[in-house]
Structure 1
Amino acid sequence: MPGGSIYVQQDEKFTGSSPQWWYEKFWREGAQSRRRSRMLKAAVGAVAGFALALRFGLPVPALCGLALGGVVAGVDWWLDWRSFRATAVWRGRRRGEVITGRLLRRALGRQGYRVLDGRAIRDQASIDHLVIGPGGVWIVDNESWSPDTEIASYGGRLFFGEKYGTKIANQQTAAAKAFAELLSRETGIEVVIRPLIAVHCGMLPRGGTLTAEGLTLLKPRLAAKHIKDNRTAVLDATQIELLARTAARELQRV
């Protein structure tokens, strides 16, 4: 489900019982505690700045202390805000497909890639983005899990927390195969498609990328780079245009 969680249905958000609703409730209730913590960190920073100014003979030590304290408070606020904003798609406040589509076009548009949003094969598969370019063809979907869901691979198998991810991997690889078969049949160009999932919320391994069971999951900002660095074919401008026109004609918009 684009921009949603595999565990929580979209229409349950903010009903008073969903994880998203509780997350926002606890976040608001913790605002005062976070402000106290930020003030304490700023005070420590101010003292450290004052001491460093004295140690190195800087002018106006008090001003140096205040400046460092302000920097510490600002950085702490920014980290706090960033962690909350990272859950926006999971909380239903932003649309993952809009974010990823914008990132893909910005990074790939000038390099000959075409990005088609919201495409489907009737009664078979639907995807958020179809990317066609010099390096081959890719499908990209968007997903969000709760912030504490660890996305990992053990023994070659995909896991979301304690749950197997095989069903999701199979769905995405099946969709890639279906789209590849349709484009190959209609254009006469042998197409191989690799599936990606842009993960908007959830704990990916260090580096922000994980591949298991034929599926690659990665942070949205890394999707374009992954596509450029991992070619599946070599397509010229004529082939790209034919594939893009065929996809626009044969695939349903969703």
Structure 2
Amino acid sequence: MTPDDQVHGLSPQVMYEQFWIKEAGERRKMRAVKAVGGLAVGVALAYRFGLSVPIMAIVGAALVAAGDAIWAWRSYEATAVWRGRRRGENITRKLLRRRLTRRGYQILDGRAVPGKASVDHLVIGPGGVWVVDNEAWDPETEIARYGDRLFLGEKYGSKVAKALVDVSESLAEVLSRESGVPVTIEPLLAVHGGELRRSVTAEGITLLKPRLVARWILNGPRAEYDDAQVELLARTAARVLRRMS
């Protein structure tokens, strides 16, 4: 059986994990090479500053090797949602609650207008209202804006953007009508995996890394709601929006 036969029919996620395991030996070899470089730097620093050569050599090699191991593991963990090992909504929910609840924001998870698509998180606070959804792409998918268009790799991202914009508008309409408070909702998409440096805004949505979502919300208020309005909107959302299991 050829290597091609062995991977034929496997999902990209399974293939990625198999290649990761297969390349462990090569990563260790490259880490050893880098550690030698760190050793050389440690020796040079020891002579430059009159320090212990053996200690600095060990420290230099250890720091480089540890840094390389941490970087490799974090790169692998960044694909955990895409590989189905973790749930993106759980990661984002924890990040949102940690940063926003103490600032007067309320987060409702898994909400939808009856008959419409659901969103993973609805954030209501002094600065406005946001919907936050989660998506995962493979590590080689470049997420970018060219002109006015959103691209996910070589494909247009219009379908993804339109779905989130539509559900945001539906949620805003219901909340405004039922609460009596004018609401405009900004749609955000937390991206797990893919090639995305910080954030991309295109076709009505903003895509960004999960750790940056709370900061985006805090730095970009769209409204000025007082405590009573925040509570009213949160209670209204809890009452009229369908909770997804």
TM-score by length of 2: 0.94
What amino acid maps onto 1:164 in structure 2? Y
Does 1:41 find its partner at 2:34?
yes
State the match for 2:147 in structure 1.
155
Measured after TM superposition, the shift of residue 16 of structure 1 is 5.7
What amino acid maps onto 1:239 in structure 2? Q
SS at match of 2:224: coil
> Any idea what the Cα deviations from partners look like across 1:54-108, whole Å, max 9, x if unmatched?
23322x3122101110111000101011100111111111111011011111111
State the match for 2:50 in structure 1.
57
In the TM superposition, structure 1's runs of 4+ consecutive aligned residues that sit over 3 Å from their partners are none
Equivalent runs, 1:169-188 vs 2, <5 Å: 169-188=161-180
Question: 1:55 and 1:219 mapped to 2: Cα distance?
Answer: 41
Does 1:225 find its partner at 2:215?
yes
Q: Percent identity?
A: 57
What amino acid maps onto 1:122 in structure 2? P
- Superposition RMSD on alpha carbons, in Å? 1.4
What amino acid maps onto 1:34 in structure 2? R
State the match for 1:4 in structure 2.
none
Unaligned runs of 5+ in 2: 1-7
Equivalent runs, 1:118-197 vs 2, <5 Å: 118-197=110-189
Question: 2:132 and 2:108 mapped to 1: Cα distance?
Answer: 10
SS at match of 1:145: strand
Unaligned runs of 5+ in 1: 1-14
Q: What is the number of equivalent residue pairs in this alignment?
A: 238
State the match for 1:25 in structure 2.
18
What amino acid maps onto 2:152 in structure 1? F
State the match for 2:5 in structure 1.
none
What amino acid maps onto 2:48 in structure 1? R
Question: 1:35 and 1:78 mapped to 2: Cα distance?
Answer: 13
Measured after TM superposition, the shift of residue 123 of structure 1 is 1.5
State the match for 2:3 in structure 1.
none
Does 1:237 find its partner at 2:230?
no
TM-score by length of 1: 0.91
Question: 2:228 and 2:205 mapped to 1: Cα distance?
Answer: 29
State the match for 2:65 in structure 1.
73
State the match for 1:107 in structure 2.
99
Question: Quick check: 1:16–1:22 contact (8 Å CA) kept in 2?
Answer: no
